Chains A and B, each alone.
Chain A
């Protein structure tokens, strides 16, 4: 399939034409022409490299009522993603080569994005002993990111061993930073609001203490550490300090932590229950600043679909987590682009280039992600209408679940088209299949 995109503003620059052929960007230039090519009019649209999510819960196997690899892949494509890392907390847990290969195969079958399995760090996410990390790394799924996400690798000795062990295959441990003894029963950010609402507090220190510990461990053993869903201003400070000391640490922030605050909990609507919890205005500002200055490397969705019955309940018994794939880019536009904290090149860097690098997807040749939009590179890209605004309607989402915290909210930007290796997965804002 040959596609000719006319007049797209690559990274927000001057309008140019892009010719996609044989899965690659064949040419970028002015007034291109190609006989027989499908022409896409991209006047006024911004072209960005296909987004890469380091943190997606696809729920399959185990909770196919909440999401499947296929429905999650479709949601991802509609959000402008061309690759997603599928978290390991499935049922069964992705802690063996068999499970990660199953997820990887389901991703291939759906064919809407590259589904990159994340392997569990410990057997059954139980935090007791290491899973067969090497077997997962060597499998067809080629796992490089390992995480017990949902649970913290709380045992410091075990964390140290994990960090050391994955060096053998250039892996990275993505830590869900939460000291469990400080968050027993925790329901929301601990502070004025939790005191008033009578919801048990999740102190910022429970995240920051683990990040501080882990950056010291990573430094000590010379390993790569990735910190999942950073949520506090204090965490940003610790990361800034660690990076200044040369620690090989990277970090991600979710769209919801960039936009929403603990004030949402006042409704007691569990759609706003998430782990780590929504924090304060000050935290949101620090996270935006941290992402803008590069202290935080990436935006990762922590897309967490939940069945209706797991969310339509009292707060304490609801499961934590919220949808993110389809609105991630819109939130980043609202929280960072519109206020002038990040330009389009910055968006491409934090949502494509750096997450791909962290997941070791940049050097995969034909199947690489996070590459520049230049001739010869894999044709993974999205076209965004930055002027469009729309109100989020959960019923219209492609995800099988409806737990969007942005329901009823007007957000900027619309993904008009997404291309995975030159094939459209989204056209006119609709998934091609």
Chain B
């Protein structure tokens, strides 16, 4: 493992598998026990440095660190020195001077975790940067797929929605293909990046054509403000062409699962009855997120003083 987790490309197949295996062992070690806490990172300090509001990701990392007995500091950019104009670099150096061993960073600017890693000695974990990557989300998605389907090699994953602006899509493309899955991206052409042709994926504009062969359908959140920028004409048209409803779900194979990184726009990219169906892994993904983030923190922080 590298010192930082900045993007999925930091993980080769062996590293990615190690993270998933470690998460599985942690799940097993903690299953059914009263004290859901391990002493592994006692005396280590993990800072959650969040420049964007993301309660669910922040809580997931916080819980992961606490279950490993690390001290956790939540640093939200709002109402702090950051809103008074302090630079990312100064904030990072300040936190490190206070003794942080790892910084978990969420930032609206793509590449902000890379810059951070350049300035600090400790480990940096990317918890989502702009429209670039969100590697722990991809790890928990891969973990969820492996638990449900028993494998990743050769699994056909269809990712549907706003790929252009999605860090979840990017991280999943690189991680899932590293792990041997076959990824198909489905979106209106306006929501696919120019240059997607160089990615190791298949691209389709037709959701109905790809659903019957899918093992996994991963729906991405579509933000309504994209509509005003003419990425698509209306919510209704988007939903009709790219939303997953019960009728489309019926076209899926028997064992196929439906995923969503959350938060969902019910009725937009995913119908409520689909989100709540037995195929849906959405709640499971949240739980798996804690285990996977524990694995990441253990592997990054456990060894190096």
**Residues of A participating in the B interface, judged by any CB pair closer than 8 Å:** 187, 190-201, 203, 267-269, 309, 312-317
> Are B115 and A193 touching (Cβ within 8 A)?
no
> Are B89 and A316 touching (Cβ within 8 A)?
no
Instruction: Name the residue on A nearest B118 (C-beta).
Output: A269
Question: For A190, A194, A197, A203, which residue has the most chain B Cβ atoms within 10 angstroms?
Answer: A197
> Are A203 and B194 touching (Cβ within 8 A)?
yes
> Are A195 and B110 touching (Cβ within 8 A)?
no
Question: For B111, B118, B197, which residue has the most chain A Cβ atoms within 10 angstroms?
Answer: B111
> Are A316 and B199 touching (Cβ within 8 A)?
no
Instruction: Name the residue on A nearest B197 (C-beta).
Output: A192
Given contacts A187-B110, A195-B195, 7 further A-B contacts (CB under 8 A): A191-B195, A194-B193, A195-B199, A196-B195, A198-B132, A268-B115, A313-B88
Instruction: Name the residue on B nearest A309 (C-beta).
Output: B87
B109 CB-CB contact with A under 8 Å: yes
- In the assembled complex, how far is the CB of residue A265 from the closest CB belonging to chain B, in whole angstroms? 8
Instruction: Name the residue on B nearest A190 (C-beta).
Output: B194
B55 CB-CB contact with A under 8 Å: no
- In the assembled complex, how far is the CB of residue A191 from the closest CB belonging to chain B, in whole angstroms? 5
> Are B198 and A315 touching (Cβ within 8 A)?
no
Q: Which residues of A contact B88 (CB under 8 A)?
A: 313-314
Q: Which residues of B contact A309 (CB under 8 A)?
A: 87
A268-B111, A315-B110 in contact; A198/B195 too (CB < 8 A)?
Answer: no
Q: Which 6 A-B pairs have the closest CB atoms?
A: A268-B111, A198-B132, A195-B195, A195-B193, A314-B109, A192-B195
> Are A312 and B89 touching (Cβ within 8 A)?
yes
Q: Which residues of A contact B108 (CB under 8 A)?
A: 316
- In the assembled complex, how far is the CB of residue B87 from the closest CB belonging to chain A, in whole angstroms? 6
> Are A313 and B110 touching (Cβ within 8 A)?
no
- In the assembled complex, how far is the CB of residue A127 from the closest CB belonging to chain B, in whole angstroms? 22
Fill in one digit per residue for B153-185: 1 if any A CB lies within 8 Å of its CB, else 0: 000000000000001001000000000000000
Q: Which residues of A contact B194 (CB under 8 A)?
A: 190-191, 194-195, 201, 203
B244 CB-CB contact with A under 8 Å: no
- In the assembled complex, how far is the CB of residue A152 from the closest CB belonging to chain B, in whole angstroms? 20
- In the assembled complex, how far is the CB of residue A373 from the closest CB belonging to chain B, in whole angstroms? 46
Instruction: Name the residue on A nearest B171 (C-beta).
Output: A198
B112 CB-CB contact with A under 8 Å: yes
Compute how far the CA of A197 lies from the CA of B195 in the bound complex, rounded to whole angstroms: 11
B215 CB-CB contact with A under 8 Å: no
- In the assembled complex, how far is the CB of residue B170 from the closest CB belonging to chain A, in whole angstroms? 6
- 30 A-B pairs within 8 Å (CB atoms) are namely A187-B110, A191-B194, A192-B197, A192-B198, A193-B195, A194-B194, A195-B194, A197-B132, A198-B111, A198-B129, A198-B131, A198-B167, A199-B110, A199-B132, A201-B194, A201-B195, A203-B194, A267-B114, A268-B115, A312-B87, A313-B89, A313-B115, A314-B111, A314-B112, A314-B115, A315-B111, A315-B112, A316-B111, A316-B130, A317-B109
Q: Which residues of B contact A194 (CB under 8 A)?
A: 193-195
Q: Which residues of B contact A317 (CB under 8 A)?
A: 109
Q: Which residues of B contact A200 (CB under 8 A)?
A: 131
Instruction: Name the residue on A nearest B195 (C-beta).
Output: A195
A194-B195, A198-B170, A268-B114 in contact; A314/B132 too (CB < 8 A)?
Answer: no
Compute how far the CA of A187 lies from the CA of B115 in the bound complex, rounded to whole angstroms: 16
Instruction: Name the residue on A nearest B111 (C-beta).
Output: A268
Instruction: Name the residue on B nearest A317 (C-beta).
Output: B109
- In the assembled complex, how far is the CB of residue A184 from the closest CB belonging to chain B, in whole angstroms? 9
**Residues of B participating in the A interface, judged by any CB pair closer than 8 Å:** 87-89, 107-112, 114-115, 118, 129-133, 167, 170, 193-199
Compute how far the CA of A362 lies from the CA of B222 in the bound complex, rounded to whole angstroms: 58
Instruction: Name the residue on B nearest A191 (C-beta).
Output: B195
> Are B129 and A195 touching (Cβ within 8 A)?
no
> Are B110 and A268 touching (Cβ within 8 A)?
yes
- In the assembled complex, how far is the CB of residue A220 from the closest CB belonging to chain B, in whole angstroms? 31
A268-B115, A313-B115, A314-B115 in contact; A190/B130 too (CB < 8 A)?
Answer: no
Q: Which residues of B contact A190 (CB under 8 A)?
A: 194-195
Q: Which residues of B contact A187 (CB under 8 A)?
A: 110
- In the assembled complex, how far is the CB of residue B54 from the closest CB belonging to chain A, in whole angstroms? 16
Compute how far the CA of A315 lies from the CA of B130 in the bound complex, rounded to whole angstroms: 11
Instruction: Name the residue on A nearest B173 (C-beta).
Output: A196
Compute how far the CA of A196 lies from the CA of B88 in the bound complex, rounded to whole angstroms: 23
Compute how far the CA of A38 lies from the CA of B124 in the bound complex, rounded to whole angstroms: 60
> Are A313 and B87 touching (Cβ within 8 A)?
yes
> Are B170 and A196 touching (Cβ within 8 A)?
yes
Q: Which residues of B contact A312 (CB under 8 A)?
A: 87, 89
Q: Which residues of A contact B133 (CB under 8 A)?
A: 198
Compute how far the CA of A187 lies from the CA of B111 in the bound complex, rounded to whole angstroms: 12
Compute how far the CA of A267 lies from the CA of B130 in the bound complex, rounded to whole angstroms: 15
Determine which of A193, A197, A203 lies in contact with B111 in the assembled complex, contact meaning CB atoms within 8 Å: A197
Compute how far the CA of A195 lies from the CA of B107 in the bound complex, rounded to whole angstroms: 18
Q: Which residues of B contact A195 (CB under 8 A)?
A: 193-196, 198-199
- In the assembled complex, how far is the CB of residue A200 from the closest CB belonging to chain B, in whole angstroms? 7
Instruction: Name the residue on A nearest B130 (C-beta).
Output: A198
Q: Which residues of B contact A267 (CB under 8 A)?
A: 114
- In the assembled complex, how far is the CB of residue B113 from the closest CB belonging to chain A, in whole angstroms? 9
Q: Which residues of A contact B195 (CB under 8 A)?
A: 190-196, 201
Determine which of B89, B110, B115 lies in contact with A197 in the assembled complex, contact meaning CB atoms within 8 Å: B110
Q: Which residues of B contact A191 (CB under 8 A)?
A: 194-195
Instruction: Name the residue on B nearest A187 (C-beta).
Output: B110
Compute how far the CA of A311 lies from the CA of B129 in the bound complex, rounded to whole angstroms: 19
Q: Which residues of B contact A192 (CB under 8 A)?
A: 195, 197-198
Instruction: Name the residue on A nearest B119 (C-beta).
Output: A312
Question: For B88, B114, B129, which residue has the most chain A Cβ atoms within 10 angstroms?
Answer: B114
Q: Which residues of B contact A197 (CB under 8 A)?
A: 110-111, 132
Q: Which residues of A contact B130 (CB under 8 A)?
A: 198-199, 316
Compute how far the CA of A195 lies from the CA of B131 in the bound complex, rounded to whole angstroms: 9
Instruction: Name the residue on A nearest B116 (C-beta).
Output: A314
Instruction: Name the residue on B nearest A316 (C-beta).
Output: B109
Compute how far the CA of A198 lies from the CA of B130 in the bound complex, rounded to whole angstroms: 7
Compute how far the CA of A410 lies from the CA of B39 in the bound complex, rounded to whole angstroms: 50
Instruction: Name the residue on A nearest B110 (C-beta).
Output: A198
